[in-house]
Amino acid sequence: MAETINQWAVITIVLSGLALIVGVYLIKRGLREAHMRAMIVASTLATIFLVLYLTRLGLGYEKKYAGPEEWRTAYFVLLISHIILAAANLPLALGALWNAYKGLKAARTLNNIDLPAARGYFNKHRAWVRWTVPVWLYVAVTGWIIYLVLHSYGEVIKS
């Protein structure tokens, strides 16, 4: 069961990363409503991933690196940077989402985001996403790489 949960976790985080990329593309084209929908999808999938990942760990399913010794240092550098930035990504994403939510609430519609009551929140949202998007993408891509490495060179350990 844990292996199936692990596979679904990977699927959700891959789709989350793709939805994030689509969301960035859409906002750069000025398509606010489509951007908002893509980001809700990305955030929902990332949340499902987190639940699946924690469930898998709770079941005691973990893999350790058992690959070539000459890759060990590079793997652990990648893993440590992934873990640190994954932990940072949650508050970054929550800050970005919170400011977007508050801005939309103040604007009432996406057509009114320039209202003074909304503008400050959307400016804060933009400031948050300047950090959130690159971190989220790094965490997603390194997570995919770690999964592929452990799929090929991982050894299941049961706790």
61 pLDDT tier (thresholds 50, 70, 90): confident
Question: DSSP letters along 29-97, please?
Answer: TT-HHHHHHHHHHHHHHHHHHHHHHHHHHHTTEEEEE-S-GGGHHHHHHHHHHHHHHHHHHHHHHHHHH
| Per-residue pLDDT tens digits for 98-135 | 999 999 999 999 989 999 999 999 999 999 999 999 99
Domains and CATH numbers, the chain: 2-158 (1.20.120)
How far does CA 24 lie from the centroid of its chain?
Answer: 13
Neighbouring residues of 59: CB distance < 8 A, sequence distance ≥ 6: 1, 2, 5
pLDDT at 159: 62
On average, the pLDDT of the chain sits at: 94
Q: Tokens in use for 117? A: 């009551």
| pLDDT-based confidence at residue 88 (cuts at 50, 70, 90) | very high
Compute the average pLDDT of residues 153-158: 86
Whether pTM exceeds 0.95: no
